[in-house]
Structure 1
């Protein structure tokens, strides 16, 4: 908000013209954000603040002369945290106390020297606003003239008569309460720099200020400080050269630990160069959100701004984005781990299948060899021979596998009909059992109630001929099966995981064995029954086979178990 008063008025011969309250006073004094304000990206926040003295001092004048006191005091609380630069002693000391109570890390103090060599916490612009002209400089006035001016100004604004603060006063107040004090040495009239470095260091030594940083736009002044004191931190400014428009030399001063750089000139290369020379980078003055985000991402050490609230929001946004990136990276890592584990499982499975095929082939060859050997000497070993009669009427000899094979034929007592039929058919395939020998082979391996049923069944047949295998299987289902009164498909569709993947898979395989489903439908049924937190992650990989779906679900179950053991740490909210 900008508030302009067009009126002019005089108080004790001090002329005030076009008093302005608002953003044009955002200058002179800077503050680095408090210890709780340092972001993940590492940059301190320097607050370039409004002129608090102007608002405090002008408020009474505006109240009496312009009738704007109420409006002004409504504005003041809103902008209080960005108004620390002051014009006279009472307001300046009040502003320092405000800054210290806000737990700032750093306070910047303007340093100007009077004509008789006294250092004041005063800027030429402060003096110019008091006197109402643009040519006045602190260096033209003596200590007494500045003090008289301060008392006159205080009296005119109905404050107590006090002196304009010296640098020594300011350092005694703030140096022990902040991490760093920046002394911004100002260039004054001719010969103003002569001996200024020595005077500043003398005050620093007297006040025992061990955390001072001295910087200035004057390179010669900065070099003088470096020559006189190796313990005091020094900084210099990099900006565009007014005469050429090009950037000033970046590495032009040895011994300086801080470089204040005009923010449009900052890029990744510049920061890398300065950090490589162990120099900190302070970006100034950054008030646009886009520029703030750029500076934070460039990893500068401090950001000078007149809009700290916007900078705080920008930093929080980048912190949140960094957290999201970290979490996304963890998720990608977990996914990569799952994919790699799935690949390993697939390789193991393929290797196992290859070994199984080889084993079955060797087994078939071994069985065939044994049968051939047994057939030639069947009379000597008492092996019963059977005659195979096909549809053509021609036949060939067949030896019962219970005598010629090392594989034991499965027995049946009336329990687990489906599993037993499956094992029989696998045996028939490996042994190449003739069609009309299957039922006879089965009959000699029946036990208990299954054998009793077989005897009754054979007597009940009109022809008393041995039935074909398919007809015999239907009769077995009628007697021992459960599919006639159960619906395995409905049960499969309604099956849901309530325990572990292993428990769910056992029941799923049992039901799947009782129905005929394509691979795609089997995968869909399997995924539909999984717990939601497992099914969602597995569907992301779009498994094509039931084997892939099972492997992925086991990996996801393991990942959930590990996550529950080691939860992500909660981030501490910022103050």
Structure 2
């Protein structure tokens, strides 16, 4: 049965990577993963926003990609060392901090793709996701961390589980199994997985292939490719058969997607 995260949404799926920050938005000081960036993605008409979860010093789950504040604010401290109130001050002129709870409440039509970025975020993240699991996909490079979030959702006892994508270890097993043309190994590796979210290549090594796409599709698993910002690259990947594009330029992605509907 198709998870509600996928059901009823137009395809191909365009996932706004950390919200939407256009060149104009960046010039105004808007930061990725800010309240303004999520609002801009919503205003552009995207159904899906990809974001990242960290835990503050006082236990609040916030949308933020890096372990530290340095790239976004110039502050070298780790997110885990800073309290919510101070983070809000630091992000006030950068589009505004957004917590996970705020994102899920303020944007009820958005389906979130949420990456658990740090150990310790799993249980609070899972508890907050649980009432909204029908419109959340849980991701992480770490399969163990991803499973801990899912376990926390289940422990909250709200019913439906979130959708989930494969971590790095699972992806490696699927890629190897597809290369070996072993349907049994692919099926085993993809057990419990709803989406493969992968780069086209890792360094010089190709990850994406038509064989991998076909193997995933045989087991009703979608393939989403990150991070793709050029329209011609989006078209090429969609022609290859991918189901979704994760992009910093969701506005461009929506135009490409509209060409195919």
Which of 296, 299, 313 in structure 1 is aligned with 2:241?
A: 299
Q: How much has 1:313 moved relative to structure 2? A: 6.2
How many angstroms does 1:289 deviate by? Answer: 4.9
Q: Which residue is equivalent to 2:46?
A: 104
Question: What aligned pairs does 1:41-190 form with structure 2 within 5 A after superposition?
Answer: 42-48=11-17, 49-50=20-21, 55-56=27-28, 58=29, 85-87=32-34, 92=35, 94-124=36-66, 127-132=69-74, 135-141=76-82, 143=83, 146-151=84-89, 154=92, 164-174=97-107, 176-178=108-110, 180-187=111-118
Would the alpha carbon gap of residues 299 and 128 (structure 1) be closer, same or farther in structure 2, given more than 3 Å must change?
same
Which one scores higher on RCO, CA 8 angstroms, separation ≥ 6? Answer: 2
Higher radius of gyration, 1 or 2? 1
Q: TM-score, normalised by structure 1?
A: 0.35
User: What are the residue-to-residue correspondences of 1:163-312 with 2, within 5 Å?
Assistant: 164-174=97-107, 176-178=108-110, 180-187=111-118, 193-194=119-120, 196-205=121-130, 207-228=131-152, 229=154, 231-238=161-168, 248-250=172-174, 252=189, 254-264=191-201, 265-308=207-250, 311=253
Instruction: Figure out how many residues of one structure are paired with residues of the other and give that number.
Output: 228
**Structure 2 stretches lacking a partner, 5+ long:** 1-5, 155-159, 175-185, 202-206
In 2, Cα distance between equivalents of 1:310 and 1:153: 26
Question: Cα 1:233–1:300, aligned 2, differ >3 Å: closer, same or farther?
Answer: same
Distance 1:110 1:311 in 2: 20
Q: What is the TM-score with the length of structure 2 in the denominator?
A: 0.70
Let me know the Cα RMSD of the aligned residues: 3.6
Deviation by residue 1:335-356 (Cα, 9 ceiling, x = unmatched): xxxxxxxxxxxxxxxxxxxxxx
Gaps of 5+ in 1: 1-31, 59-82, 188-192, 240-246, 320-573
Distance 1:108 1:266 in 2: 20
| 1:168–1:283 CA distance, 2 compared to 1 (3 A) | same
Q: What SS class does the counterpart of residue 107 from structure 1 fall into?
A: strand
Kindly state the Cα deviation for residue 166 of structure 1 after the two structures are TM-superposed: 1.9
Shift of 1:266: 1.7
Q: Which has the higher strand share?
A: 2
Q: Greater helix share, 1 or 2?
A: 1
